[in-house]
Structure 1
Amino acid sequence: MKLASYFGITTFAVAICVGAKPTQAALVNYGFTVDATSGDNPGQYYGSFQYEDSTLTGIGEETLGVSNGLAIAFDYLGTRYTETSDFDYPLSPVVNFTNGNLLGLSYLVEDQFFIGDDPGNPNRGGTKFSSILSADLLSATEVGTVSYSKGQPVPEPMTLGGSAIAGVMGLCLKRKKK
């Protein structure tokens, strides 16, 4: 009788794992490297960002921000900067896409740097790195480039939970047989 009970629980766990329709949302991770080739602080600097992609359609111009879970960590000149370091937080920073392809970050930290293609259009991300005085975008001086590398999406919790339950129940069933 216990064998039937374990079989029923295992079947239920597998059904949850397989039958659950995953939402299309995932946390997407990117790493980025700043290669500063001129200015006062040449060198390479590293950072990362992540966002939740449930609202992306892959069609046309799209922008995601802090309200979409955008989180940034950037180590520059011995200081760790986050999304809250942006001059216009919580409206910025943002990450931009065209037809599902990453254009880049738009990230402005007062008296330090600006990441984006055009200081005249600070809400459009890009691959240029500029030093900046105060928050005056007219003072931006391009000193390097930014490159991005996509990480693996973080799986949905329901899928992980269902898989874990199915695995544990399978082990319990195997152990009871012995």
Structure 2
Amino acid sequence: MKNYQKLAVATAGVALSFATIETNSAQAAIITYDFTVDVTTGSLTDTQYQGFFSYDDSTLTASGVESVGIAEGLSISFDFLGVTYTEADDYLVDFGFPFVEFNQGSLVGLQYTVSNNAIFSIFGDNPNGLGGGDQFNYIDETSFEVGNGSVTYSLRPASVSVPEPSAVFGLGILGFGWLVRTKFGLRR
């Protein structure tokens, strides 16, 4: 009877570890995209500017058109003309801007407009009405000349590697098999 008690305890331990794994795999992740603005027209032609944005992906379903704004944890840092701008600098911040837009789980782009210290906008020109995108416009405050550019995005690699639940499951089964084999003398 003692062997059956050990088997029951081992089985309960494995079951609890799987329940814990399932709970942890449902947690949200902070996703970060780096972006580069390449200016192609106007007084800033042939210059580049860098930035990044981060957000909590817990509200995204990868279905249809979705957006993430400040309320969902969006933060932005963009260096333009020696000044670092954040999400709080968007002139429509009181109306739900800026935001990052997705279509079927794929990044469409950022919708972000600043009109203090400098005037610039990152937006989309999608005919389907999507606001986020890969277009950049600015106004030179000395000449009032309008310039344009493009925006490219790259997903920043995650800094922590988490094993897939299927790998942990497989290792758990192997460990359980070893435990049964050694504890109950099931040797060949």
Q: TM-score, length-normalised on structure 2?
A: 0.64
Structure with the bigger RCO (C-alpha within 8 Å, sep 6+) is 1
Pair 55,147 (structure 1): closer, same or farther in 2 beyond 3 Å:
same
The structural deviation recorded for 1:141 is 4.4
1:79 partner amino acid: V
- Structure 1 residue runs of 5 or longer lacking an equivalent are 1-11, 157-178
In structure 2, C-alpha distance between the alignment counterparts of 1:67 and 1:142, rounded to whole Å: 31
Name the residue aligned to 1:172.
none
In structure 1, C-alpha distance between the alignment counterparts of 2:51 and 2:100, rounded to whole Å: 14
Name the residue aligned to 1:57.
61
Name the residue aligned to 2:109.
104
- 1:148 pairs, out of 142, 147, 153, with 153
| Equivalent residue pairs, number | 139
Identity %: 40
Which of the two has higher C-alpha Rg? Answer: 2
Q: TM-score, length-normalised on structure 1?
A: 0.67
CA contact (8 A) 2:124 2:130 kept: no
Larger mean CA deviation between 76-85 and 36-45 belongs to: 36-45
In structure 1, C-alpha distance between the alignment counterparts of 2:59 and 2:158, rounded to whole Å: 15
In structure 2, C-alpha distance between the alignment counterparts of 1:143 and 1:96, rounded to whole Å: 21
CA contact (8 A) 2:52 2:76 kept: yes
Secondary structure of residue in 2 paired with 1:84 = helix
- 2:32 pairs, out of 26, 29, 33, with 29
Alignment of 1:77 onto 2:81 = yes
1:144 partner amino acid: G
The Cα RMSD (Å) is 3.2
Name the residue aligned to 2:138.
131
Secondary structure of residue in 1 paired with 2:58 = coil
1:148 partner amino acid: Y
> Which runs of 4 or more aligned residues in structure 1 lie more than 6 Å from their structure 2 counterparts after TM superposition?
15-18, 119-123
Secondary structure of residue in 2 paired with 1:54 = helix
